[in-house]
Amino acid sequence: MTDYAKLIDAETWAFIERTNSYYPPDTIDYTIEQQRGIYDRMCREFFAGYPEGVKAEDRTVVAPSHEIPVRIYRASADPKAVVVYYHGGGFILGGLDSHDDVCAELCARTGYEVVSVDYRLAPEHLHPAAFDDALAAFEWVTKTYPQPILLCGDSAGGNLAAAVSHATRGHERRPVGQVLIYPGLGGDQSKGSYVTHAEAPMLTMRDMAFYKDIRTGGADVSGDVTYMPLADADFSNLPPTVIVTAECDPLSSDGQAYTARVIAAGGKAFSHEEPGLVHGYLRARHTVGRARASFTRIVDAVAALGKGEWGY
């Protein structure tokens, strides 16, 4: 058994306990509607507000069969790049409000415009609905903005960002970079962090099995790159990639595996595992020193890739 008492510091334990007070570990045993209510309340409790000077506007992207809500954050009259952000939530939770302050802070600290995407959720909309919306939103951004476009996302959103990167390699306006935050990319669950951190605080293998079945409706998606980017046989021509993972997280090995595949194919990729942090630590960025430092690392990566810089 992994000794989390040694790996995780007091600040992070306080964050875990606060999170569990709003979103108990057994939440996956509730109905989807109840889970969403619990999650939304937790997000409201952690909401940190907007930095001064950030303004947000809600719009819709028109897809063939429906409209995709997006929220656009601006802090500059002349943004040098645009970030497309895909939120986490296991493909069943979250939306424009769940990561509202994260996107606002990313906008303020980079000066870039941020477009947050409210993709369709399971189980009402099974895979590949979320991916289809993620791709449609990217296409809309390419037609709307002349600036360089980056992809960014956390957890499930990191999966979507990577899947869009793989799908748009031949695009005239392909992404100039991607920053993935503790993403689930479809790695080998028989080894690495999947085994070492199977019972980690905040995310367990039991949780992951639940999210997988909900997203797919039980369908066999093995080999589907839009579901698990690590299933791709070709990792060439991907955008420069920065992945930031949490040590105490079953998904951490995915970041290392993905980075190795990109580098082996001749691309640029860098992964950093945050010691002692847990899945979902973005919400701890104002209360936990390690999370605060990690968010700065993420902001710096987004800022650099938007300028076409690679310092890794």
Of these residues, 155, 165, 193, 252, which one is catalytic? Answer: 155
What six digits make up the tokens of 19?
A: 């999170």
Closest CA to 309 of 148, 159, 75: 148
Helices 289-306 & 100-110, crossing angle to 10 degrees? 60
| Bridge partners of residue 271, in order along the sequence | 243
Strand order in the sheet with 177-181: 55-62, 67-74, 113-117, 82-86, 149-154, 177-181, 241-248, 269-278
249 annotated active-site: yes
Instruction: Enter the DSSP assignment of 240.
Output: P
Q: How far is CA 245 from CA 146, 154, 186, in A?
A: 31, 10, 15
Beta-carbon contacts of residue 238 (< 8 Å; ≥ 6 apart): 165, 166, 169, 178, 262, 265, 267, 269
Tell me 36's DSSP state. Answer: H
Q: Retrieve residue 237's tokens.
A: 């021509």
Rounded to an integer, what distance in angstroms lies between the CA atom of residue 113 and that of residue 190? Answer: 40
Show the DSSP H helices in 29-99 as ranges. Answer: 32-46
Give the distance, in angstroms, between the CA of residue 302 and the centroid of all CA atoms in the same chain.
Answer: 13
Catalytic residue selected from 132, 224, 232, 249: 249
Q: Does the annotation count 279 as an active-site position?
A: yes
Query: Annotated catalytic sites, by residue?
Result: 155, 249, 279
